[in-house]
Structure 1
Amino acid sequence: MAREIAEQPAALARTIESLRPERTALRKLAADRRMVLFVARGSSDNAAIYGRYLLEVHAGIASGLAAPSVATHYHAQLDLSEALVVCVSQSGETQEIVETQAWAAERGARTVAVTNDGGSSLAGAADVALVTQAGTEIAVPATKSYTAQLAAMAVLAGALAPEPEALDRDLDQVPDEVERLITQRAGVEDAAEQLASTAEALVSGRGIVFGTALEAALKIEETCLRPVRGLSYADLRHGPIAVVDAEHVALLLSAADGPMVSGMTDLAHDLDNRGAASVIGIGGDDGFADAVDVHVAGPALPELIAPLALIVPAQLIVETLARRLGLNPDAPRGLNKVTQTDPSDDHEH
């Protein structure tokens, strides 16, 4: 896992360079489509959440997350003739995602596959395949394949925006920022120490960063075998915040700029006032850093692109925490690299 985290700057650079030429094909494919629907599971679903926010905020296109079971179990007869359906799977062989893409095409959708395997079933059946260049990923927890998917989302949203090249300069900075975060590891050890002190943890982010918060929570759960609640800022405010006490460590993620920083800073103060054992913050601005007990440096990137690097400190924390707990971060208990949702489809492991 540590080695694959370290490979992310190169993987991101390769992926961005490889996918940019697909922008013309993406614009043509989506020319008469009114909405984008994402289909994914697990870490890929968290990448899709980022894609949804970015398409709506940056490209101005209505987007949503589709439930694969609507296709695979309910066989719903939806009219998707105005939809672009984006199916996301690292392996390109998760059966329900492959089946959902075929169902969407039969219902009139145009399809885009986001996968790390150009020879996969998903890539072969899509109208356009965005093949990420993460290289083979051996550790079960997705790291470089996940950030490569985020790069694909940024390219997709850029392609469908009024100015397709508007995000290019910021995207070009991502590999260097990821390299800096990996090298400096600012705050990583202290954050892992705090998380190791209690089994009670919650993770929160908002807006563009929401998918990153869910991915950080998933990584802690699957790699460190800790029950973690990953919640949006809004959902946390609407009740669950009441459970916070001296047994809880809160991990908050924020971009360095944008409309959500002040709210995340207020949340850090509120959690501290409620007696949380510790409040850890990744990213944010100076005010956010001052509001948390342990600050972990985030990327110097604008909010729209920040998630490509903001997850990296969380990956470093999780890998460190797993080893501190005496666990193997490369092969968490009970997990496999390719996951099939239904046991009857679980034939690839």
Structure 2
Amino acid sequence: MASSSSTFTTAETRRILACRHVRGEMHEQPDVLARMSRHVEHFARQVGSLAAEHGGLRDVVFLAPAGTQPVAILGRHAVAARLGPEALPPHTGPDPQSVELDRRLVIALSPSGEDERVLALARRALDSGSALITVTNDAGSPLARLDALNVDIAAGLELSPAPTKSVTGMMLAVLALVDGLPTARPTPPSIADPSQALAMAEAVGALLADPAHADAAAARLVPARRVAVVGQGHHLPAALETARMLKDTADLLVEGFSVEEFCAGPLGGFDARTAVVLLFGPAHATVRSLRARLRIRGARVVVIGNAADEAARPDLPLPDLLVPGAAECVLATVRGQQLAVAAARALGVDPDRPAVIDVTSPSPVRSQHAPAPVRAEREAGDGRTVESPQ
């Protein structure tokens, strides 16, 4: 019996190792998102219930490992979009530690649910009386078992060193949770509407069925000695994810930037031997201006943007969604995944065996909101806390 079990395990291992994990897991995303679409309304309602139990919420904090921080940044943008321009973080403001802890909502993000620092911070939040929501890809993990509301994205085992389906699954979960925050402002169509979430899942499926645009765009990246990925607003998290994917799957020298960071310094080092991937929507005028400057410098430019935006002429177009704003980040992230795999293929690199895996520590992203002004922070690598760019 022992010999039979051992033979089965070896055969299964060989079968698993023969798989193309990145591409296979990418194509599971429509199903993962479609399953989640049936629960998004419940996620949002739970946030509303927590707010009522705590007499309203004055602060929202996202906890995430650095690898999941783009999802936390998306959450911060979604909070600002839901609460209006007055919710944007000021340069100065009240000490965030002065906020009433029992009126704080903490959203802890960890696909594995085993990140020790996220666990420690989540436990501290519970001890302080804060409302806690955990978002994981393992309902049996230590984080998911805390005495708090757990959102299980149920994306399944992720074997690729470059995660895809857990990233977009957590993005959808965070957007649905934020849509449950109470607000007196008129609200547009919500991703917490199951029909809208399902429409987004179907749009992801349509993008994955269209690899030709990514193949053509990747050809521009192959000769570049350096690549930057730049996003504005709710496209910044997708830009950071695209940079990570290009680095992890294609072994390119890539960095992700907000448009403000890029224009403040790195832009000067980009010329005809470099390439820049720009992600933006119709309202992102700063990135449009940056594209013109890059073309003058001779840099190769690849644009990921809305297909209906004729002025942008995107190389990797995104379909329209009835849910505006932050939800488009999910589609842009999928386009970035396609671009990374296409670049790896063009370079003859196996995307399932990257040369370098980046391992970093978790950090919080804070959104403090009405009636107090929103403030956002992240921790620098040396332990300092610095204000995140908007």
The residue that corresponds to 1:141 in the other structure is: 162
The residue that corresponds to 1:48 in the other structure is: 72
Partners of 2:202 and 2:87 in 1: CA distance: 32
Candidates 61, 64, 67, aligned match of 1:37: 61
Partners of 2:303 and 2:42 in 1: CA distance: 37
Q: Please say if residues 177 and 309 of structure 1, whose CA atoms lie closer than 8 Å, have aligned partners that are also in contact.
A: yes
Once the two structures are TM-superposed, the CA of residue 270 in structure 1 deviates from its matched residue by: 1.3
Q: Please say if residues 94 and 340 of structure 1, whose CA atoms lie closer than 8 Å, have aligned partners that are also in contact.
A: no
The residue that corresponds to 1:190 in the other structure is: 216
Once the two structures are TM-superposed, the CA of residue 4 in structure 1 deviates from its matched residue by: 0.9
The residue that corresponds to 1:115 in the other structure is: 136
The residue that corresponds to 2:101 in the other structure is: 80
CA 1:20 to 1:135, structure 2 compared with 1: closer, same or farther past 3 Å? farther
Give the residue type in structure 2 aligned to 1:42: A
Once the two structures are TM-superposed, the CA of residue 201 in structure 1 deviates from its matched residue by: 0.6
CA 1:172 to 1:130, structure 2 compared with 1: closer, same or farther past 3 Å? same
The question of 1:313 aligning with 2:339 is answered: no
Give the residue type in structure 1 aligned to 2:269: V
The question of 1:132 aligning with 2:153 is answered: yes
Partners of 1:238 and 1:170 in 2: CA distance: 38
The residue that corresponds to 2:198 in the other structure is: 172
CA 1:265 to 1:165, structure 2 compared with 1: closer, same or farther past 3 Å? closer
CA 1:63 to 1:16, structure 2 compared with 1: closer, same or farther past 3 Å? farther
Partners of 1:275 and 1:164 in 2: CA distance: 40
- Normalized against structure 1, the TM-score is what? 0.84
* Matched ranges for 1:219-234 at <5 A: 219-234=245-260
Candidates 318, 321, 324, aligned match of 1:298: 318
Partners of 1:217 and 1:307 in 2: CA distance: 14
Candidates 32, 39, 44, aligned match of 1:18: 39
**RMSD (Å) for aligned C-alpha atoms:** 2.5
Aligned residue pairs, count: 321
CA 1:194 to 1:144, structure 2 compared with 1: closer, same or farther past 3 Å? same
Once the two structures are TM-superposed, the CA of residue 77 in structure 1 deviates from its matched residue by: 11
Give the residue type in structure 1 aligned to 2:329: P
SS class of match (2:319): coil
SS class of match (1:125): coil
Give the residue type in structure 2 aligned to 1:335: I
Per-residue CA deviations over 1:248-289 (Å, capped at 9, x if unaligned) read 10000123x4x21x332222111101221x100011311111
Give the residue type in structure 1 aligned to 2:296: N
Q: Please say if residues 33 and 169 of structure 2, whose CA atoms lie closer than 8 Å, have aligned partners that are also in contact.
A: yes
SS class of match (1:56): helix
Partners of 2:343 and 2:147 in 1: CA distance: 39
Once the two structures are TM-superposed, the CA of residue 334 in structure 1 deviates from its matched residue by: 4.4
Per-residue CA deviations over 1:205-239 (Å, capped at 9, x if unaligned) read 10111111111111112222222221111222223
The more displaced of 142-151 and 24-33 is 24-33
CA 1:335 to 1:228, structure 2 compared with 1: closer, same or farther past 3 Å? closer
Q: Please say if residues 250 and 343 of structure 2, whose CA atoms lie closer than 8 Å, have aligned partners that are also in contact.
A: yes
Candidates 244, 256, 275, aligned match of 2:298: 275
The question of 1:97 aligning with 2:121 is answered: no
CA 1:197 to 1:77, structure 2 compared with 1: closer, same or farther past 3 Å? same
Give the residue type in structure 2 aligned to 1:146: V
The residue that corresponds to 2:234 in the other structure is: 208
Q: Please say if residues 19 and 132 of structure 1, whose CA atoms lie closer than 8 Å, have aligned partners that are also in contact.
A: no
CA 1:77 to 1:23, structure 2 compared with 1: closer, same or farther past 3 Å? closer
Per-residue CA deviations over 1:96-148 (Å, capped at 9, x if unaligned) read 11111112222332211111111111111152111112122111111111000
Structure 1 gaps of 5+ residues are 65-75, 343-349
The residue that corresponds to 2:26 in the other structure is: 5
Structure 2 gaps of 5+ residues are 1-21, 90-96, 363-390
Per-residue CA deviations over 1:80-106 (Å, capped at 9, x if unaligned) read 333111110111111111111112222
**Identity of matched residues, %:** 29
Partners of 1:7 and 1:47 in 2: CA distance: 19
- Normalized against structure 2, the TM-score is what? 0.76
CA 1:140 to 1:63, structure 2 compared with 1: closer, same or farther past 3 Å? farther
CA 1:240 to 1:135, structure 2 compared with 1: closer, same or farther past 3 Å? same
Candidates 240, 243, 261, aligned match of 1:235: 261
CA 1:143 to 1:55, structure 2 compared with 1: closer, same or farther past 3 Å? same
The residue that corresponds to 1:157 in the other structure is: 178
Once the two structures are TM-superposed, the CA of residue 340 in structure 1 deviates from its matched residue by: 7.2
The residue that corresponds to 1:345 in the other structure is: none
